[in-house]
A and B are shown apart, each in its own frame.
Chain A
């Protein structure tokens, strides 16, 4: 009985299963069916990507992190500051965000590769909190608590302006998220990805088969940080604003909840968790907020005690049972 239970063992391959194609057609269909909800859709995609980055280190490498928002925020501020200071080209902005967050991730990774779970939790938490304070202190650069405004974006590919209906933002976000998801998927379904799972399940055994554990962890941590930075950059560019809450602890904590609810160790779980969570929050935010917190708490307790692998886990179990019957 665990949130990470029963990840079915499949040898890595790169075949695209039909359900995956259906999944990626959904946003395209949504564009035509829900033209008034494009901004929400874009933000769901961004959070989905962000959740994937956490799943990479949590579900595959086993690092419990309460500080993933640090990299998201660094990416957001990098892209935002670039635009504020005159360079508003979107794609290169994202590249800069990835590099910035990747560097911070790389430097941080050395602190995270050793130590037990509690230590790593505290270190990631501490780093997130320190970066938050630093961003607040450097308010003359970041805008502090008031946020960074004046982010003016140029046209995407020189052709498409960011319009008020959110159309350009939507397609831009979808393309970027899809690309990065494909990369993440490739990483996970590769021998490297398999070694990560090995590290999560038996960190002491891996060196015995010659696998360099710290190096692998540093690698995946850096990649995850860089991707989180791109997610942050996307948010900065599509909302033309960077709030200090991009770095904050609530964002990291909420992300952890999303990944767990969606299903740890499954990339699609992270995306589905993000979608369900954000839609539910948007819908319920009008209702009594105390109930929201209460029910999320109960849901978490129930998922941990009884759920196997979150939404995706349950869905896969159901699918397996149906297939057995057929």
Chain B
């Protein structure tokens, strides 16, 4: 029985990590209807910022996380205003090709500055090893991840539901033209949301170094997973991304634990099935 709990725990953690990295993509996709394959690049930037902050500035791991968030957010705003906003009304193919181009540039840049190999990260000692909870050995870092993601989800929920800005975002997601007609500064909403999404991606990238590793091909390797979460969960909702991320995380880990022969196969199969049943995603709104 403990193995089931263990698998669930690992799956939920993996899902939480996917969630943090994908939530930004889900909201921006829902908001701007923009297929952004370069989302992983923002996560990668966050990861490298953490590494640089730790090695060159000597900061402890936890302190680098807010910096990663900020750096990715700023980069997001700059790129959004300069490039992305020109393509909001463009056909999806253009958006896909543009974001692929951006990914290539990001990968080439990362290789040039940091080299092609893995970046090491040293976690603070209280986050290493395992902790005994109810008789089950749980990884300390993973507990930390779950706690952090819970807080972020709560904060995001409050932001969307309890603040005026959140209301503006929800209005713009539902109907940008009408929202603009109501006097909402839709451009500002887009910019801030994109920044927030990119920042969260950067945070996820930093958090994920220990679990997923960090090298220049990160955006391409994990692009599939982000898109998976967004496509399955339905773009534009936090709930969708969270549920999809956790479902995918749990099934991936469970599949690998119980039936390792089909390993990676299972998650793609699951995705295809879910997309067939829910073409707009589990909680998707756009038809």
> Which positions in A face B, CB cutoff 8 Å?
1-4, 58, 64, 111, 114-119, 121-123, 125-127, 129-130, 133-134, 137, 253, 256-257, 260, 264, 290-291, 293-294, 296-301, 303-305
What chain A residues lie within 8 Å of B29 (beta carbons)? 118
CB atoms of A264 and B224 under 8 A apart:
no
Within the complex, the shortest CB–CB distance from A113 to chain B, in Å, comes to 11
B7 within 8 A of A: no
Compute how far the CA of A82 lies from the CA of B141 in the bound complex, rounded to whole angstroms: 52
| Bound Cα distance from A119 to B286, whole angstroms | 12
Partner of A122, one of B86, B107, B227: B227
Q: Is the pair A122, B235 in contact by a Cβ cutoff of 8 Å?
A: no
Q: What residues on B are CB-neighbors of A130 within 8 Å?
A: 265, 268-269, 272
Name the prevailing secondary structure of the A interface residues: helix
B165 CB–A CB distance under 8 Å: no
Whether A114 and B279, one on each chain, are in contact in the complex, defined by CB atoms closer than 8 angstroms, is yes
Known: A119-B279, A133-B264, A301-B101. A4 touches B93 (CB 8 A): yes
| Besides A118-B35, A118-B92, A126-B269, 16 new A-B residue pairs in contact (Cβ under 8 A), listed by A number | A1-B90, A115-B279, A118-B230, A121-B231, A122-B227, A122-B271, A125-B227, A127-B268, A133-B264, A294-B105, A294-B109, A297-B100, A297-B107, A299-B101, A300-B97, A301-B83
Give the A-B pair count, Cβ closer than 8 A. Answer: 130
B272 touches A257 (CB 8 A): no
Q: Are B268 and A111 in contact (CB under 8 A)?
A: no
Report the interface size for chain B: residues with CB under 8 A from the other chain. Answer: 44
In the complex formed, the residue of A with least CB distance to B269 is: A130
| Across-interface contacts of A123 in B (CB, < 8 A) | 272, 275
Does B123 sit at the interface, judged by CB under 8 A? no
Q: Are the C-beta atoms of A127 and B97 separated by less than 8 Å? A: no
Identify which of B35, B261, B265, B268 contacts A117 (C-beta below 8 A).
B35
Within 8 Å by CB of A133, from B90, B265, B280, lies: B265
Residues of chain B with a CB closer than 8 A to A127's CB: 268, 272
> In the bound complex, do residue A111 and residue B286 qualify as a contact, i.e. CB atoms below 8 Å apart?
no
Cα distance, A121 to B272, chains bound together (Å):
11
Instruction: Tell me, in angstroms, the Cα distance from A2 to B87 when the chains sit together.
Output: 9
Q: Is the CB of A294 within 8 A of B104?
A: yes
CB <8 Å contact, B92 and A117: yes
Residues of B within 8 A of A298 (CB): 101, 105
Chain B residues with Cβ under 8 A from A305's Cβ? 83, 86-87, 98
CA distance A42 to B166 in the complex (A): 57
Of all chain B residues, the one with the shortest Cβ separation from A253 is: B100
A297 with B101: CB separation less than 8 A: yes
Known contacts A115-B279, A118-B29, A118-B35: A301-B93 contact under CB 8 Å = no
The DSSP consensus for interface residues of chain B is helix
Say yes or no for B108: interface residue by CB 8 A criterion.
yes
Q: Say whether B97 contacts A257, CB under 8 Å.
A: yes
How would residues 262 to 282 of chain B score, 1 for a CB under 8 Å from any chain A CB and 0 otherwise? 011100110110011001100
Which B residues lie at the A interface, using CB under 8 A?
29, 35, 83, 86-87, 90-94, 96-98, 100-109, 111-112, 224, 227-228, 230-231, 235, 261, 263-265, 268-269, 271-272, 275-276, 279-280, 286
- Tell me if A304 and B108 are in contact (CB < 8 A): no
Contact A122 B93 (CB under 8 A): no
**The residue from B86, B98, B112, B268 contacting A290, defined by CB atoms under 8 A apart:** B112
Q: Judging by beta carbons under 8 Å apart, are A116 and B279 in contact? A: yes
**Bound: A33/B280 CA distance, A:** 54
Q: Determine the distance from Cα of A297 to Cα of B106 in the docked complex, in whole angstroms.
A: 9
- Contact pick for A260, options B97, B104, B105, B275, CB 8 Å: B97
Q: From known contacts A133-B264, A134-B265, infer whether A126 and B108 are also in contact, taking CB-CB under 8 Å.
A: no
CA–CA, A199 and B115, complex, Å: 46
Distance in Å: Cβ of B151 to nearest Cβ of chain A: 29
Kindly provide the distance from the CB of A192 to the nearest chain B CB, expressed in whole angstroms: 22
Given contacts A127-B272, A130-B268, contact A121 B96 (CB under 8 A): yes
C-alpha spacing A189/B67, complex, angstroms: 56
Query: Which residues of the partner chain B approach A299 to less than 8 Å between Cβ atoms?
Result: 101
- Residues of chain A within 8 A (CB-CB) of B275 are 111, 115, 119, 122-123, 126
Chain B residues with Cβ under 8 A from A4's Cβ? 91, 93-94
Q: Which residues of chain B are near A2, meaning CB under 8 Å?
A: 90-91, 94
Provide a sorted-by-A list of 14 A–B residue pairs whose CB atoms are within 8 angstroms: A1-B86, A116-B279, A119-B279, A121-B227, A123-B272, A130-B272, A133-B265, A137-B265, A256-B96, A291-B108, A293-B111, A297-B104, A298-B101, A305-B83
Chain B residue numbers with a CB within 8 Å of A304 are 87, 90, 94, 97-98, 101
CB A129 to nearest CB in B, in angstroms, measures: 5
Partner pick for A116 among B98, B104, B271, B280, CB 8 A cutoff: B280
B83 close to A126 (CB less than 8 A) = no
- Contact in complex: A125, B224 (CB < 8 Å): yes
Shortest beta-carbon distance, A131 to chain B, in Å? 10
CA distance A223 to B227 in the complex (A): 28
Query: Contacts A118-B230, A125-B224, A290-B111 given: A297-B268 contact, CB under 8 Å?
Result: no
